[in-house]
Chain A
Amino acid sequence: MNLWRDFPALDQAVHGKPLVYLDSAATSQKPRAVIDAISRFYEQDNANVHRGVHALAERATAQLEDARERVRRFINAARADEIVFVRGVTEAVNLVADSFESDRDEIVVTALEHHSNLVPWQRFKVRVAGVDDRGDLRLDELEKLIGPRTRLVAAAHVSNALGTINPVEKIVKLAHDKGVAVLLDGAQAAPHLKVDVQRIGCDFYAFSAHKMYGPMGIGVLYGKAALLDAMRPWQRGGEMVQKVSWESATYQKAPYRFEAGTPDVAAAVGLRAAIEWLSGKDLLEHEQGLLRRGIDVLQTIPGVRLLGAPRERIGILTFTVEGVHPHDVGTVLDQEGIAVRTGHLCAQPLLERFGQTAVVRASLAAYSRPEDLDALGAGLHKVRETFG
């Protein structure tokens, strides 16, 4: 598979070395098809949506709604009005935290959450189901935490820090058995796994376009229609209303009641193009092969220690280099043209659980190549030389 060529940004030199992009979990690069779709929208169809009768307004509106329908099929939602466009996972979680009503005050999360699926819940009482030393969720702990006070279970589908794939169908079953709804953070799942929200059975599912080859600035909140319609509006203004007087307004049904203001239509068009680019490609096998190679490469380098070893995982390699601070590892690798993430990965409590404050993360995507991992290995030898 030579998908690498589809991504213009990958073909460049950094500090005089060919770019090796291993930071796709932060954001993926974008294929030409996505970049072109966005340009085409601005070159040909740009107009505001849902408010004009002219040709361009109709084309723009149709494109936004086509994108919604394409997203519906991508995650196999039952209805297109269950697809709310948001800015990304962060916004989706905040929306649900603000608008999902219940008189219960506890949120159950897993220890694998990104800060964006933790901090918005901290106005409630957060209870955390732990992980074992491999970085696998302790399902039994999760089960015990769900009780009569549980407002919602909020869990990552896939961990951005360790790559762990959570057993989401089991999580949903445990919660539903106790009458509790489930929100899944699919930021790291949507780019890699086949997501079927009806099979998973979750009540809410959120993901960001920019991590799955689409543009920044748009993401999706899926919610079951009955739940969305029962939720209070979130931001208020144009687009989301039916009838407005000086004193009051009546609101549209979902998804529009949650989409106040002009949406990023070009980004929706880009997201649709990204889904089309992804569809029909079986990336999992390719990425799993690279993951195994990556683990092999890292295990041969003295002083490199991998964090966690989840049984089911995506292509995320998180590690430390003995005696060298992650920032220094990152800077030396950068000088070799290799882009990795360093720091706390927006998962501070999880890293603490593993006795770290900062780590290095190399993450893989559709366009990753075996030679990228070999370059990482060579780069890490350089790190050891510099600080030897």
Chain B
Amino acid sequence: MTDLYQQTIVEHAKRPRNFGPLPGANRGAQGVNPLCGDEIELHLRVEGDRVEAATFEGAGCAVCVASASMMTLAVKGSSAADAARLMQRVRDLVAGGDGKNLGEIESLKGVARYPARRKCALLAWRALEAALAGEATQVSTEL
């Protein structure tokens, strides 16, 4: 059991960081999981090429919320290109890839053994991708 619900994940799920609205946000996207009705709303403040701040709101399972919480911490201050690279690493991680140098995010490694839960882990990241691309305002796990 502990391989999925790592202490880090449970902690982030119970006390998500950067949870709430973001004053001055200029980008955003909503992520929905039609399978369970989960919805998270991601807010970004982007200046130039840099993510100055990221917050999220909504409800989801522990994997989804923890992943969103860790994401908002990780992308703060990074460029769009850095964020895209990180996103790809997380995709690889939950598909069984290695998590070296990913810090806390490595705690999502266990998700690889639960194919049905991968989309929960990726929801916030997909919203990030959409928000940075600045086009779609809603993304779904079912694509």
Contacts and interface: CB of A to CB of B under 8 A. Distances in A.
Interface centre among B14, B35, B37 (most CB of A within 10 A): B37
Contact of A344 (B37, B60, B61): B37
Interface string B33-45: 0011110000000
B38 A328 contact: no
Given A331-B114, A386-B1, A325 B37 contact: no
B4 interface: yes
A325 B35 CA distance: 13
Interface bin, chain A: 10 to 19
Contacts, number: 53
Interface string A294-327: 0000000000000000000000000000011111
A53 B1 CA distance: 59
Contacts of B114: 331
Leading 4 A-B pairs by shortest Cβ distance: A357-B37, A325-B61, A327-B61, A358-B36
A99 interface: no
A301 B112 CA distance: 31
A351 B37 CA distance: 11
Contact of B37 (A324, A335, A358, A387): A358
Contact of A335 (B1, B13, B60, B61): B1
Contact of B35 (A335, A343, A351): A343
A327 B1 contact: no
Nearest to B34: A344
Contacts of A357: 36-38, 59
Interface string B60-104: 111111000000000000000000000000000000000000000
Contacts of A343: 35-37
B5 interface: yes
A332 B5 contact: yes
Nearest to A343: B36
A351 B65 CA distance: 22
Contact of A331 (B37, B64, B117): B117
Contacts of A332: 1, 5
A382 B4 CA distance: 14
B62 A342 contact: no
A300 to B, nearest CB: 22
A116 interface: no
A48 interface: no
Contacts of A387: 5, 10, 13-14, 62
A241 B5 CA distance: 59
Interface in A187-210: none
Contacts of A327: 36, 61, 63, 117, 120
Nearest to B65: A325
Nearest to B117: A331
22 contacts: A323-B14, A325-B36, A325-B59, A326-B36, A326-B61, A327-B61, A328-B5, A328-B63, A331-B4, A331-B114, A343-B36, A344-B36, A348-B37, A351-B37, A357-B37, A357-B38, A358-B36, A358-B37, A382-B1, A387-B5, A387-B10, A387-B62
